[in-house]
Amino acid sequence: MPFVAAQLSQSDFLKLSVQQLVDTGDYFFLRNNHDTALICYSLLMNTPFKERDLERQKRVIEAYNKSAVIYYYMCDYRSSYDLLIKALHLCEKYDYTSYLSKIYTNIGNVYYHFNKDLAKSYYSNALNFPQDSASVVVLLNNLGAVELENNNLDSAAYFLNKSLQISKRHNDHLSSSIRNNIASLYQAMQLYDSAFYYYRLSLDIAKKNHQIEEEARNLSDLSQLFFKVNKIDSALFYIDLSNAIAQENSFLRILAENYLTLSKIEETEGRTKKAFEHFKKYNSLKDSILNVENLGDINQLQRQYEVSKTNQQIEQLAIEQEIKSRTIHYQKIIQRITFTVLLLTSAVLLFIFLQHRRLNRAYKTLFEKNIKIIELQENSPEKHFEKYKDSALKDEMQDELLDKILMLMKDTSIICDTEFSLDKLAELVQSNHTYVSQVINAALKKNFRSFLNDYRIREAQRLFSELDLTKYTLASIAYQVGYKSPTTFRNAFKEITGVTPNFYFKAMQEKG
């Protein structure tokens, strides 16, 4: 919440938070206590803030703009313009586009007293940025005032009527200035009754809303209107009322215009000495408000701003060029790395391909050997077990048991049963688990699992050579020869034949 100035020393202001400075500054600004408002806004402008603190950036920009408005009211146009240009720089730097309209409007207000064409340009530019309808009302009213000063009455009427239509959606706070300009338009058209009506209407609205400057302005304009229609007493009445308000609140521009009107009235009445005294006061105020040096300073500031903006654009282009150069440099490095990776990948793939081709050749050789082994086994099956007959086992029972085992293993319907086991074999040859295992180990030099795999894989090879392989899968053949798991079948097949069943399967398809 805002603080009363009398309660605060200079050090107390320094203790206020950012939001308290804003609230306090706005509080005194609205009550025309400009000195206290400027203290708050100056502290806001000069307090450091982080680049990423967006809310603080906005507060600083708004403080510059509001300070500029105060200096404008004080007729210190150079200080006002200087602050507005700084606010404009910050708006562009921090991309606060929603506030640009206010700044362009206030720059236009400064130029209104020096260069009407530039003022119109800034007002028109302000309309290109986002803003609320109240701001649009102000801009259209200002454009109407410019056109009125340039004696473009039709264009002035268009802008003022449009501004008045939009203002009706709001309260009367915005309409006093519009009606004042409409009155001036009627006066320029020599429709004095209509002019008087709108000046009085504008004056009533200003009083109702405590718009002191608008009140003094309307009283001054009424005095000029009555002087124009040669009603001197009424002119003096209104000018005295206007001067009382203007002197109390230091409305220098209104005072200057009132002294000029008084000078003309006195001259008309033949009181030359008084006319000259009023004119001297007018001239003194005019020189302090509107002088060539002020205009030159403002024009110099405008040039500095334009040069600064051009330099910023040049710096931005240089940065973009540097980024572009670095991007091209990095792209070349990436291209080289990509080419090297592709080259290495190609070399690795070539090596893998050559290795794969050698492996395929080795597999084909093993495949051919396996085919020959199968053919030899089919032509003389007894010779396959001839070495077992020469075993050191001379015991007739062991020989008899071995013969039973070998005879039974020829029955593929038995050995290719997935539930076939050593116990099952012992049961079928009418022996026991231990004797069967000992005979296989002693006579054939292998365990039961390897012994069984020999027969099952041989049966798988036979199926590969006889079946229509287009109708079968490896998994189905594995199951037909007694393997529940394709992985177990694959491992056993490769261990015995030296090649994978997949390779053997494809080789048989190609051969067929």
Which residue ranges make up each domain of the chain? 378-511
pLDDT value at 373 more than 60: no
Predicted pLDDT of residue 318: 47
Higher pLDDT, 376 or 44: 44
Pick the CATH number of 378-511 from 1.10.10.60, 1.10.4160.10, 3.30.70.600, 3.30.365.10: 1.10.10.60
Mean local confidence (pLDDT), 316-320: 50
What are the pLDDT digits (tens) for 71-107?
A: 888 878 888 888 989 888 888 888 888 788 888 888 9
pLDDT value at 385 more than 50: no
- The answer to whether the CB of 61 falls within 8 A of the CB of 45 is no
Distance of alpha carbon 180 from alpha carbon 198, whole angstroms? 6
What are the pLDDT digits (tens) for 227-283?
A: 999 999 999 999 999 999 989 988 888 999 999 999 999 898 889 988 888 898 888
Predicted pLDDT of residue 310: 41
Structure tokens that stand for 171 in this block:
């309260």
Residue where the block lists tokens 């009455």: 153
Please enumerate in sequence order all residues whose Cβ is within 8 A of that of 175, keeping only pairs 6 or more positions apart, or say none. Answer: 164, 167, 168, 202, 205
Distance of alpha carbon 55 from alpha carbon 50, whole angstroms? 10
Higher pLDDT, 299 or 490: 490
Please enumerate in sequence order all residues whose Cβ is within 8 A of that of 428, keeping only pairs 6 or more positions apart, or say none. Answer: 408, 414
pLDDT value at 55 more than 90: no
166-173, long-range: CB within 8 Å, 24+ apart, which pairs? 166/133, 166/136, 166/137, 166/140, 167/137, 169/133, 170/133, 170/134, 170/137, 171/209, 172/205, 172/208, 172/209, 173/209, 173/211
Q: Is the backbone of residue 162 left (phi > 0), alpha (psi -120 to 50) or beta? A: alpha
What are the pLDDT digits (tens) for 106-115?
A: 898 888 877 8
How large is the angle between the packed helices 501-511 and 448-466, nearest 10 degrees? 30
Predicted pLDDT of residue 8: 58
Predicted pLDDT of residue 364: 60
Q: Give me the count of residues in the chain.
A: 512
pLDDT value at 408 more than 60: yes
SS3 (DSSP) at 24 = helix
Predicted pLDDT of residue 253: 86
- Confidence band, pLDDT 50/70/90 cuts, at residue 375: low
Exposed / middle / buried, residue 1 (Cβ in 10 Å: 0-12, 13-18, 19+): exposed
pLDDT value at 350 more than 50: yes
Predicted pLDDT of residue 292: 42
What are the pLDDT digits (tens) for 1-53?
A: 555 544 556 667 777 788 888 888 888 888 878 888 888 888 888 877 677 77
Predicted pLDDT of residue 458: 92
Structure tokens that stand for 455 in this block:
């027969």
Predicted pLDDT of residue 387: 38
Higher pLDDT, 180 or 175: 180
Predicted pLDDT of residue 320: 55
Predicted pLDDT of residue 194: 92
Residue 317 identity: L
303-311, long-range: CB within 8 Å, 24+ apart, which pairs? 304/85, 305/85, 305/88, 305/89, 308/89, 309/92
pLDDT value at 347 more than 60: yes
Structure tokens that stand for 42 in this block:
């100056």
Mean local confidence (pLDDT), 425-441: 91
Predicted pLDDT of residue 7: 54
Distance of alpha carbon 222 from alpha carbon 243, whole angstroms? 13
Structure tokens that stand for 441 in this block:
């180990």
Mean local confidence (pLDDT), 344-367: 69
3-state SS string for 266-316? HHHCCCHHHHHHHHHHHHHHHHHHCCHHHHHHHHHHHHHHHHHHHHHHHHH
Predicted pLDDT of residue 393: 41
- Confidence band, pLDDT 50/70/90 cuts, at residue 390: very low
Mean pLDDT of the residues in the chain = 80
What are the pLDDT digits (tens) for 444-495?
A: 888 999 999 999 999 998 888 887 777 888 888 999 999 999 999 999 999 9
Distance of alpha carbon 184 from alpha carbon 181, whole angstroms? 5
Where is average pLDDT lowest: 54-63, 101-110, 358-367? 358-367
Taking CA atoms, 60 is separated from 30, 40, 83, 252, in Å, by: 18, 11, 11, 29
Where is average pLDDT lowest: 72-81, 390-399, 414-423? 390-399
What are the pLDDT digits (tens) for 108-163?
A: 888 887 788 888 888 888 888 767 777 888 888 888 989 988 899 999 899 889 88
pLDDT value at 380 more than 50: no
Distance of alpha carbon 1 from alpha carbon 495, whole angstroms? 90
Residue 314 identity: I
Higher pLDDT, 176 or 509: 176
SS3 (DSSP) at 54 = helix
